[in-house]
Structure 1
Amino acid sequence: MKDSPLKCDFPETDLEQQLDTRRFRTYGARLASPPAKRVKGISDSSKDMDHGVAYINERFMDIRTAFSILRRYMLGIVGLFMMAVLVLMWVVDQFYSEALIATAAFFVPVWIGFYLFEVFFPLTLPVRLDRKEGVVYVAHRGTFYRIPWDELEVTFSYNWQYFGSGVMWEKQYYSHLYLKEKYYFCGTAPKKNLQRKRISSYFKEEHLYRKWNFIVRYYDEGVAKEDVKNLSGINYESYKESVNNKSVGILILDYLSVILFMPSIIWWRFAPFKYRWPKEVEAIFGKANYY
């Protein structure tokens, strides 16, 4: 298949070629910053952006990276799948005895395994954008970087994902943030002069651009009125505030829907294993850790 360039009109970059080791090959890399500018013709609204934000106020915003976004939805997807399978086996069990027990003996331990993964796998820190000082804080394998916004290097790229004969190949789009040794702030000294951190991953190119446009808009203009409503479910604290005025019946249904579809919002509030910002960053923001 021929590799086609991304649709955005940003300049091409060879940043990926400068890496010591590439974990996977990407194509059509376009440099979105510096200077950071929005993709033309794409919305910069915060609508449907709650999955990518861990916290927001006028001073700073914590931006979830690709892996954190996946984990946010994983328990809900797995839970719904497991429940659907068990219900189906219950129906089959009416005709074939012990079908439900046999299925449960396999699926229930797997289901428990996913929850144990969430218990024991530490929560990673988001990328922190500080509007007041005009810098971005990034944690990467024990190393903490402090990158001036005007020097931030972010690229858009894609690679091909194989989904089998029914779908064949499909493009997956990424945005990466590049970490240079000169931006080292604290923690473990960087082992390489240049590294990259994946901050977004989507199968629709427009979604990649929408998240970027929202980030740039936030930095330029701060929190908009619509953000308060659109981002009400970004973490457990903001979710509790958004449901305070609801009736008891609606509140119960609301909590049940969260437990079924997105239990990570609640779980992450109490998870025991979390990476935290170092004292050098806490000296600036206080003990503000969001996931």
Structure 2
Amino acid sequence: MMKAIQRQSIRSFLGSALFAVGLTAGAVSAADKPSHDELAVIASVFDGSGGEWIDLTHAFSEDSIYWPTDTRGFELEELAHGHTEGGWFYSSYRFSSAEHGGTHLDAPIHFAEGRHTTDEVPLTSLIGPAAVVDVSDRAHSDYRISVEDFERWEAEHGRVPEGAIVLGRTGWEDRYDDRAAYLGTEMTGAEAVPELHFPGLHPDAARWLVEERDIAAFGLDTPSIDYGQSQDFRAHVILYQQNIPGFENVTNLAELPAVGSFVVALPMKIAGGSGGPLRIVAFRP
């Protein structure tokens, strides 16, 4: 039966189903209950028959990329690992991490006073249809995704959907295992910041997303929403003032189509936080 359901039906129903299941708390009337076929579509999302889940997250380790001033990086301390006197195996670890390292969430308060903290970011900003804007064929170390890039994308794929999670693919994810290539420098500490070179989002494009489109979140495969040489982090400020969160150091965007996939991005829920480690995945029908 599932093979007979068209991909477009899966996509359209999945979008509403994810929001309905995850975001509504009210009672559902009998008339609104999904049919048997619709329930089968929902099941296909989770049993693998309707598509594939793609992990967009870099694993956290001592090699994870952090902002150069976060010199401690990710630390994992072994507390226990081995067989106990009772005869069973047991392992336990303690980890330490700054909020903004590896694949992570930028909560709006990170650059906008009074806006959402990590625990206040609603699920509507973390779950939604993906719009993957690929500029990897022209991105360079000081490239900024422009309004023209978005207009070119829309000319081919249609208007950015309302509530979309817009993901910029620059190709920088391929450099993640080489710190110097990814950041533009091997230096650490405050003196490294002026030496940073990697792509980001142009402030004019951030303003266009805010004023001309209705997006849920913006993410990309680089260390920062703003490009490495930014002095004022205006793209951060423009988006976050509107309570639009950011996702940084995302990976595997080459595995997603320009349109038609759906993102679930769930950060550690830190009370009062300005960000946090993020597990972000996408469903590709």
Query: What's the TM-score bracket when you normalise by the shorter of the two chains?
Result: under 0.3
TM-score by length of 1: 0.22
Report the structure, 1 or 2, having the larger helix content. 1
TM-score by length of 2: 0.22
Larger radius of gyration: 1
